[in-house]
């Protein structure tokens, strides 16, 4: 019972931190579903908007490849191609 009470108290205290978090809204274009479905499984979509001024086609390609090969993201070849195309067209710096 004590563990449950502590966990409940911790959850209640953490709620205000989540209240101010804004939902990331990516540009609605072909491939956005692949980005949201694959990329958001591991990290916030904030990274796309934060890095877009600095990344061009080659670096977006390298980022997606890194996520798959180095980080182990389970993304199919077809989804990876759609994600790269979406990022380059919509956030290609």
Could you report the per-residue pLDDT of 54-82, keeping only the tens digit for each?
999 999 999 999 999 999 999 999 999 99
User: What is the predicted pLDDT for the residue at 1?
Assistant: 72
Superfamily of domain 24-91: Cytochrome c-like domain (1.10.760.10)
CA angle, residues 76, 52, 30, in degrees to nearest 5 = 45
Taking the complete model, does pTM exceed 0.85, yes or no? no
Q: Is the pLDDT of residue 14 over 70?
A: no
**DSSP of the chain:** -HHHHHHHHHHHHHHHHHHTPPPP----STTHHHHHHHGGGTS-THHHHHHTTT--HHHHHHHHHHHHHTT-----HHHHHHHHHHHHHHH--
CB distance 91 to 60 below 8 Å: yes
Judged against a pLDDT cut of 70, whether residue 19 lies above it is answered with no
Mean predicted lDDT score pLDDT of the chain: 86
Q: Where are the domains of the chain?
A: 24-91
Spatial distance between the Cα atoms of 53 and 62, rounded to a whole number of angstroms: 16
| pLDDT greater than 80 at residue 4 | no
* pLDDT confidence band for 13 (50 / 70 / 90): low
């Amino acid at each position: 019972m004590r563990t449950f009470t502590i966990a409940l108290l911790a959850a209640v205290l953490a709620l205000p931190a989540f209240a101010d978090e804004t939902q990331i809204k990516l540009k609605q274009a072909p491939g956005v579903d692949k980005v949201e479905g694959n990329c958001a499984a591991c990290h916030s979509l904030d990274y796309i908007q934060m890095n877009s001024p600095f990344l061009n086609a080659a670096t977006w390609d390298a980022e997606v490849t890194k996520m798959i090969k180095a980080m182990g993201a389970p993304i199919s070849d077809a989804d990876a191609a759609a994600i790269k195309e979406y990022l380059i067209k919509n956030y290609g710096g």
